[in-house]
Chain A
Amino acid sequence: MATAAPEAVRIDLGDVQGDILRAYGNAYERTTYVFVGIDEPGRGREWLHGLVDRVTTAAPWADAGKPAHAMNVAFTAAGLRALGVPDRVLRTFSDEFLQGMAERAGLLGDTGDAAPARWERGFGTGEAHVLVTINALGPTELDAALAELRTEVVRHGLQIVSEQPAQLLPQSREHFGFADGFAQPAVEGVTDDKAVGGGVPLPHGTWRALAPGEFILGYPDEDTRVDPKRRLPNAPAAPLGKSGTYMVWRKLHQDVALFRRTVRDAAQRLDRDELLLRAKIVGRWDDGAPLVTHPDTQPDEFDGRAEGANDFLYERADGDGHRCPLGAHIRRSNPRDALGFEGRLSFRHRIIRRGMPYGDPLPPDALADDGADRGLVFVCFNASISRQFEGIQVQWLNDGNIFGLGHDRDYLLGGTNGGSMVIQGRPPDPPCYLAPQGPFVTTRAGEYLFVPGITALAAIADGVTG
């Protein structure tokens, strides 16, 4: 098909909130997510008014370096309503955002212990309105920023519904012990340097970054980048639709002891190396090295952010899954070209992940649960929650059909009925089966949010959203 050459896009970084397109990553060690409830639109807007100028944008940091803390703001649908955004404007937001995460629980697999009825207080009930995310260099900076925020919230007669602290664990590991967070989509005009392995694979072994509209509203996406009429993708009505994005926030409890015991037992039963078995479940070794490029042993040193570290495809190198199992977490959550058709069934289902572990780590060799709450605050950004986040969660992680894996669910997450997986192989290591286990991961809270651009945020604060 003839396609118009897309024009280079320039993103107005000063109008986009920080931490979406470029990770604060290792820049900030501490994060606290504060959910605020608003019972009177006027007071809510007044509070926001004082906040607008302090919200951190995506504009590169000046010579002075990174600020001691960064602050970002997002809204639930109930929050926009509570701030007086009229229905006629709200109707221009996506259906799934307006419904909210709790309404979509059945679809997402949040049932049984993970059902909204069992979520933490204030979530899925319409009480959580505004999410203020504070990233800080350390505990002192965090405390100072939080104290200021709490004072202002109280002064305006608003409520803090929930505060969720999170912190970077050593070597960017999540609680199960895997390096996490570095495989990210490459975005045109922002992270073009990460296109190899992070963008869209092209014939002849090259890659290109994804159109920014996949992650930022008001810009061309993968669909419209080649539209001769240059129509823009669906977005909320102006001025809200520019420079914003949708955010998925999920508090995912991890049962670390259960995961360790299950993997240890399976390794003994199947007579497999435990470290390799862990890698088979995720598709990467503990240090992040991909199985496709490092099938036999974990490399001595691996830097997931180094050039080329993420450069691999599945079909030709590992079509049968003998290196990276067909049901491994990363092969499911970003199948690259594994679904055939040169990746055309997967390139529109990408998300930017900005999660952060919460809770203290379980001591290294412990195999019994200590009852402590720990897990991952899963955060992702996407222009369409239904196409991107939900597509991954529902079609790829919670079901195996598209990969020829029947009803197998992702083994790493498990879900209410547990995950199961086949580890492909050939004699002397024939394929083996990991039977369903109790849930390693349980959803404890969650919300769908809208992250406005800076101009849009000011409009919400001013009450002039249309």
Chain B
Amino acid sequence: MSVATPTSAPTTATGTRGGNVDGQAIAITVFSTVKWWGRVVLPFVFVAPKVAPKTLTTLQRLSFIHFARWSLITQIPHNGAPQPETKLRYPHLYFESNFNGGWEEYIDAFSHILTTGMWTFWGSSYGFPKALPTGPFKAYIKANEMEASHFYSAYPEATTTEIKQAIELDPMVAELRERADRMTPEEFATAFAELMSEAQRCC
């Protein structure tokens, strides 16, 4: 495949390869080979109400993780020559996620906080060692990780936590602005202090 190359030793400060980093954002891409029964079970796992959504709710609380996506790949799209046609003898699990921070911390969060969720998604992949202990889990992810040949972030200096905070803050400021014209300086001072007290709780 031409879109990705296998990842070996980390080369950047964030614990991942340069191609996976754009500003504050880090990408992780993992392909794993799925056993025959995974092809049957995984589609249910993705929609089963008690399994995937629970993991996803926890994921949302980890605001340094932008998103995480698992999909089952049964064939590789062929875009014509010069791309060679590839037939997959086994289905593959394709995992893609973006996050802020460091690679180690990211995987640690998966191991320690989404322990059972990890088994649900990767349990049908060949060689998956369980999410705990983290040592073998990290080695497994490293071994199956691909470096992105192109990774682009539209707002490289911003993190999702900051963006969420800004979105929450924006209407509060707009509201004060709207009222400000009708306030005395003393009233404004009080209202401003109130806004600050309220806003410090954003996410």
Residues of A within 8 A of B (CB): 1, 95, 104, 106-107, 223-224, 226-227, 231, 233-234, 320-321, 340-341, 344-345, 348, 386-387, 391, 394-395, 401-402, 404, 406, 422, 424-427, 430-431
Q: Residues of A contacting B53 with CB < 8 Å?
A: none
Which among B102, B113, B115 has the greatest number of chain A C-beta atoms within 10 A?
B102
In the docked arrangement, what's the CA distance between A231 and B190, Å? 60
Q: Residues of B contacting A387 with CB < 8 Å?
A: 104
Contact A402-B64, Cβ < 8 Å, known A95-B9, A231-B133, A395-B105: yes
In the docked arrangement, what's the CA distance between A226 and B196, Å? 46
- Write the nearest CB–CB distance from B139 to chain A, whole angstroms: 10
Interface flags for B155-180 (1: CB within 8 Å of A; 0: not) read: 00001011001000000000000000
In the docked arrangement, what's the CA distance between A460 and B155, Å? 50
Q: Is B43 an interface residue (CB 8 A)?
A: no
Q: Is B109 an interface residue (CB 8 A)?
A: yes
| Of B10, B13, B135, B161, the contact of A401 (CB 8 Å cutoff) | B161
| Of A1, A386, A402, the contact of B115 (CB 8 Å cutoff) | A1
Q: Residues of A contacting B63 with CB < 8 Å?
A: 404
Q: Contact between B108 and A426 (Cβ–Cβ < 8 Å)?
A: no
Contact A234-B116, Cβ < 8 Å, known A401-B100, A430-B196: no
Q: Residues of A contacting B9 with CB < 8 Å?
A: 95
Q: Is B68 an interface residue (CB 8 A)?
A: no
Q: Contact between A422 and B102 (Cβ–Cβ < 8 Å)?
A: no
User: Quick one: closest A residue to B13, CB to CB?
Assistant: A107
User: Quick one: closest A residue to B109, CB to CB?
Assistant: A345
Q: Residues of A contacting B196 with CB < 8 Å?
A: 430-431
Q: Contact between A345 and B108 (Cβ–Cβ < 8 Å)?
A: yes
Interface flags for B1-45 (1: CB within 8 Å of A; 0: not) read: 000000001100101000000001000000000000000000000
Number of residue pairs spanning A and B whose beta carbons lie under 8 angstroms apart:
82
Instruction: Give the number of residues in B that approach A within 8 Å (Cβ atoms).
Output: 37
- Write the nearest CB–CB distance from B193 to chain A, whole angstroms: 4
Contact A386-B15, Cβ < 8 Å, known A395-B101, A431-B196: yes
Q: Contact between A425 and B197 (Cβ–Cβ < 8 Å)?
A: yes
Residues of B within 8 A of A (CB): 9-10, 13, 15, 24, 61, 63-64, 100-102, 104-105, 108-109, 112-113, 115-116, 132-136, 159, 161-162, 165, 190, 193-194, 196-197, 200-203
Q: Residues of B contacting A223 with CB < 8 Å?
A: 132-135
User: Quick one: closest B residue to A321, CB to CB?
Assistant: B200
In the docked arrangement, what's the CA distance between A114 and B63, Å? 32
Q: Contact between B197 and A427 (Cβ–Cβ < 8 Å)?
A: yes
Which among B9, B100, B162, B200 has the greatest number of chain A C-beta atoms within 10 A?
B200
Q: Contact between B112 and A345 (Cβ–Cβ < 8 Å)?
A: yes
Q: Contact between B197 and A345 (Cβ–Cβ < 8 Å)?
A: no
In the docked arrangement, what's the CA distance between A107 and B159, Å? 18
Contact A106-B13, Cβ < 8 Å, known A231-B133, A402-B64, A430-B193: yes
15 contacts between A and B (CB under 8 A): A1-B115, A223-B133, A223-B134, A231-B135, A320-B201, A345-B108, A345-B109, A345-B112, A391-B104, A391-B105, A394-B102, A395-B101, A401-B24, A402-B64, A427-B190
Q: Contact between A401 and B109 (Cβ–Cβ < 8 Å)?
A: no
User: Quick one: closest A residue to B10, CB to CB?
Assistant: A95
Q: Contact between B197 and A431 (Cβ–Cβ < 8 Å)?
A: yes
User: Quick one: closest A residue to B157, CB to CB?
Assistant: A407
In the docked arrangement, what's the CA distance between A361 and B108, Å? 42
In the docked arrangement, what's the CA distance between A120 and B116, Å? 50
In the docked arrangement, what's the CA distance between A320 and B203, Å? 11
| Of B61, B161, B197, B202, the contact of A426 (CB 8 Å cutoff) | B197
- Write the nearest CB–CB distance from A402 to chain B, whole angstroms: 6
Q: Contact between B133 and A404 (Cβ–Cβ < 8 Å)?
A: no
Q: Residues of A contacting B136 with CB < 8 Å?
A: 231
Q: Residues of A contacting B159 with CB < 8 Å?
A: 401, 406
- Write the nearest CB–CB distance from A118 to chain B, whole angstroms: 20
User: Quick one: closest A residue to B105, CB to CB?
Assistant: A395
Contact A401-B197, Cβ < 8 Å, known A233-B135, A234-B135: no
In the docked arrangement, what's the CA distance between A358 and B148, Å? 47
Contact A404-B102, Cβ < 8 Å, known A107-B13, A226-B132: no
| Of A1, A104, A404, A422, the contact of B132 (CB 8 Å cutoff) | A1
| Of A104, A224, A402, the contact of B13 (CB 8 Å cutoff) | A104
- Write the nearest CB–CB distance from A30 to chain B, whole angstroms: 36
User: Quick one: closest B residue to A423, CB to CB?
Assistant: B200
- Write the nearest CB–CB distance from B55 to chain A, whole angstroms: 14
Q: Contact between B112 and A341 (Cβ–Cβ < 8 Å)?
A: yes
In the docked arrangement, what's the CA distance between A320 and B165, Å? 15
Q: Contact between A224 and B113 (Cβ–Cβ < 8 Å)?
A: no
In the docked arrangement, what's the CA distance between A227 and B190, Å? 57
Q: Residues of A contacting B13 with CB < 8 Å?
A: 104, 106-107, 394
In the docked arrangement, what's the CA distance between A226 and B131, Å? 13
Q: Contact between B113 and A341 (Cβ–Cβ < 8 Å)?
A: yes
- Write the nearest CB–CB distance from A335 to chain B, whole angstroms: 12
Q: Residues of A contacting B197 with CB < 8 Å?
A: 425-427, 430-431
**Pairs A-B, 9 closest by C-beta atoms:** A107-B13, A430-B193, A344-B112, A223-B133, A431-B200, A401-B159, A227-B133, A430-B196, A431-B196
Q: Contact between A424 and B101 (Cβ–Cβ < 8 Å)?
A: no
Q: Residues of A contacting B109 with CB < 8 Å?
A: 345
Q: Contact between A424 and B194 (Cβ–Cβ < 8 Å)?
A: no
- Write the nearest CB–CB distance from A106 to chain B, whole angstroms: 6
Q: Residues of A contacting B116 with CB < 8 Å?
A: 1
Q: Contact between A427 and B105 (Cβ–Cβ < 8 Å)?
A: no
Q: Contact between B104 and A402 (Cβ–Cβ < 8 Å)?
A: no
In the docked arrangement, what's the CA distance between A401 and B108, Å? 17
User: Quick one: closest A residue to B11, CB to CB?
Assistant: A95
In the docked arrangement, what's the CA distance between A67 and B175, Å? 69
Q: Contact between B161 and A404 (Cβ–Cβ < 8 Å)?
A: yes
Q: Contact between A348 and B102 (Cβ–Cβ < 8 Å)?
A: no
Which among B109, B197, B201 has the greatest number of chain A C-beta atoms within 10 A?
B197
In the docked arrangement, what's the CA distance between A394 and B100, Å? 12
